[in-house]
Structure 1
Amino acid sequence: MTAPDAGYAIDVDDVTVRYGDVIALAHTTLRLRASTVCGLVGMNGSGKSTLFKTIMGLITPQSGGVRIDGLTPARARRGGTISYVPQSEDIDWSFPISVREVVMTGRYRHLGLTRRPRRRDHEAVDEALRRVELTEFADRQIGQLSGGQRKRAFVARGIAQGASILLLDEPFAGVDKRTEATIIALLRELADDGATVLVSTHDLQALPQLADQAVLLMRRVLVHDTPERVIAPDNLIRAFGLDPLDDAPVTGEGR
């Protein structure tokens, strides 16, 4: 692995991840600087979720490494630098917890030994709810929200956390166009404020409005360029019509 570059917010260097004999990521390198929205595109099984979990430090690669603002993923996660919104939250939607309380969980590391929210914590949560347009739903039980509203609530949790790096796995899946437009505008605003956003999406049509740059993934990075160049027909054929790892010992799909 090359020496980490503190100038990169996300530095994924030559990472390989296997599940047994299955290659999920092969020699994958991805480097993003701050104030960037990067769209992550690839077919199911291309390794997008594995890449997110590796960046978060939830999966340890067999080779290569990851740095987040020059830190290990574990240290970045403990320090609240990075926030992850997975494709589906592992939560009991019937649990009696309000939207406000869900967002407040993003303040956990700020609460001190008493774990009691202070004025600045409530203010951070109120501001996060305002930014995702959920203020009027703050006291509603989380399971009463629509799918798109739930996703906005978990984006708000990352904002309240104060994370400078946000990972979002398919935040537009199952949401209406209004919610999609709201999330896109919010992510652009966060990037303008200095955040780094990596977001996976199947909505290629909206990619140029969403992202400054994009990555085409098929168990390794095929193209990292502007959205318009990434979704050019020749590149999409490479990702969706051919296996770019036909010279590697792949015995199943990535995850």
Structure 2
Amino acid sequence: MTTNTPLLKADNVGIHFGGLKALSGVNIELNAGELVGLIGPNGAGKTTFFNLLTGVYEPTEGSIVLGNDKLNGLAPYQITRKGISRTFQNIRLFGELSVLDNVKVAYHSLARHSIFSSIFRLPSHFSGEKEIEEKAIEFLKIFKLESFMYEKAKNLPYGQQRRLEIARALAAHPKLLLLDEPAAGMNPQETQELMNLIAFIRERFHLTILLIEHDMPLVMGVCERIYVLDHGQLIAHGTPEEIRNNPKVIEAYLGEEIS
């Protein structure tokens, strides 16, 4: 359920690489429970913005705040613990690990038992591992992946690999889920299944979702609001209908399909 409570505020955010301004003056605000799109032509700065939100890069200017926590200067693992998880345009699973172990890896970032207990194989280690495995299996059931749990991740069909990557991201119990081009490489049927999955995730886990995507029917079909980047700057923000008819957006895409 969408609320008017700000969850994320990016205020005048920018980053420079040497003399190159990759992003400049970006202001984005997400309310709790929203599903928001971030679109723009190739090279517009969309993934760079995700990298700023997740601590891969640190902003050269501006601030990023999640709830009451300023994220500037935090390491990626610290930001994950604050409540942001992401997927990647190019799927980044542990291909040689099982489907089950890929999800367990995410749960380990939140594990309550200590390294000390693991080294010395204390009872708390075994009880903690059992709890993690039970939670991971339950998660696989939610995403209809339990029949693949002992398969190597690399052997899954492409659409199932994408589903597993999203499941792994959600296993870290984020407040904000960042999806970076989840429909990349998918056929129309897989894309439709992905749309249904995104809607299910939002309702089931009461999440805020920020979505980068080039598949405009998908974006227009699932997002409540859309931000548009071009050459590192925001050029538009509004509802799907407003974005579809915005002259600046149409010009930025140079006649590409945006409906």
TM class by shorter chain equals: 0.7 to 0.9
Q: 1:221: which partner in 2?
A: 234
Aligned 8 A contact 2:236 2:249 in 1: no
Q: Give the number of equivalent residue pairs.
A: 235
Cα distance between partner residues in 2 of 1:237 and 1:197: 25
Gap change, CA 1:204 and 1:153, over 3 Å in 2: same
Cα distance between partner residues in 2 of 1:224 and 1:233: 9
- Identical amino acids, percent of aligned pairs: 24
5+ unaligned residues in a row in structure 2: which ranges?
A: 119-124
Is structure 2 residue 142 aligned with structure 1 residue 131?
yes
One-letter identity of the residue aligned with 2:19: D
One-letter identity of the residue aligned with 2:33: S
Q: 2:83 aligns with which of 62, 81, 96?
A: 81
Gap change, CA 1:169 and 1:232, over 3 Å in 2: same
One-letter identity of the residue aligned with 1:204: M
Q: CA RMSD in A?
A: 2.3
Moved more, 31-40 or 71-80: 71-80
One-letter identity of the residue aligned with 2:213: T
**Tell me, what secondary structure is at the counterpart of 2:109?**
helix
Gap change, CA 1:10 and 1:238, over 3 Å in 2: farther
Gap change, CA 1:130 and 1:214, over 3 Å in 2: farther
Please report how far the alpha carbon of residue 25 of structure 1 lies from its aligned counterpart in structure 2 after TM superposition: 0.7
Q: Using CA pairs below 8 Å that are at least 6 residues apart, which structure has the higher relative contact order? A: 1
Cα distance between partner residues in 2 of 1:230 and 1:109: 38
Q: 1:7: which partner in 2?
A: 5
Q: 1:202 aligns with which of 214, 220, 234?
A: 214
Cα distance between partner residues in 2 of 1:23 and 1:231: 27
Q: 1:110: which partner in 2?
A: 110
Please report how far the alpha carbon of residue 145 of structure 1 lies from its aligned counterpart in structure 2 after TM superposition: 1.3
Aligned 8 A contact 2:235 2:249 in 1: no
Please report how far the alpha carbon of residue 171 of structure 1 lies from its aligned counterpart in structure 2 after TM superposition: 0.5
One-letter identity of the residue aligned with 2:44: S
Q: 1:246: which partner in 2?
A: none
Q: 1:253: which partner in 2?
A: none
Is structure 2 residue 161 aligned with structure 1 residue 150?
yes
Please report how far the alpha carbon of residue 167 of structure 1 lies from its aligned counterpart in structure 2 after TM superposition: 0.5
Please report how far the alpha carbon of residue 9 of structure 1 lies from its aligned counterpart in structure 2 after TM superposition: 1.5
Aligned 8 A contact 1:12 1:30 in 2: yes
Cα distance between partner residues in 1 of 2:179 and 2:80: 18
Cα distance between partner residues in 2 of 1:19 and 1:85: 24
The 5 A counterparts of 1:151-190 are 151-190=162-201
Q: 1:247: which partner in 2?
A: none
Cα distance between partner residues in 2 of 1:222 and 1:16: 15
Moved more, 218-227 or 196-205: 218-227
Q: 2:66: which partner in 1?
A: 68
The 5 A counterparts of 1:51-66 are 51-66=49-64
**Tell me, what secondary structure is at the counterpart of 1:206?**
helix
TM-score (norm 2): 0.82
Aligned 8 A contact 1:131 1:186 in 2: no
5+ unaligned residues in a row in structure 1: which ranges?
A: 1-5, 243-255
Gap change, CA 1:176 and 1:241, over 3 Å in 2: closer
Cα distance between partner residues in 1 of 2:200 and 2:248: 29
Cα distance between partner residues in 2 of 1:170 and 1:46: 14
TM-score (norm 1): 0.83
Higher helix fraction: Structure 1 or Structure 2? 2
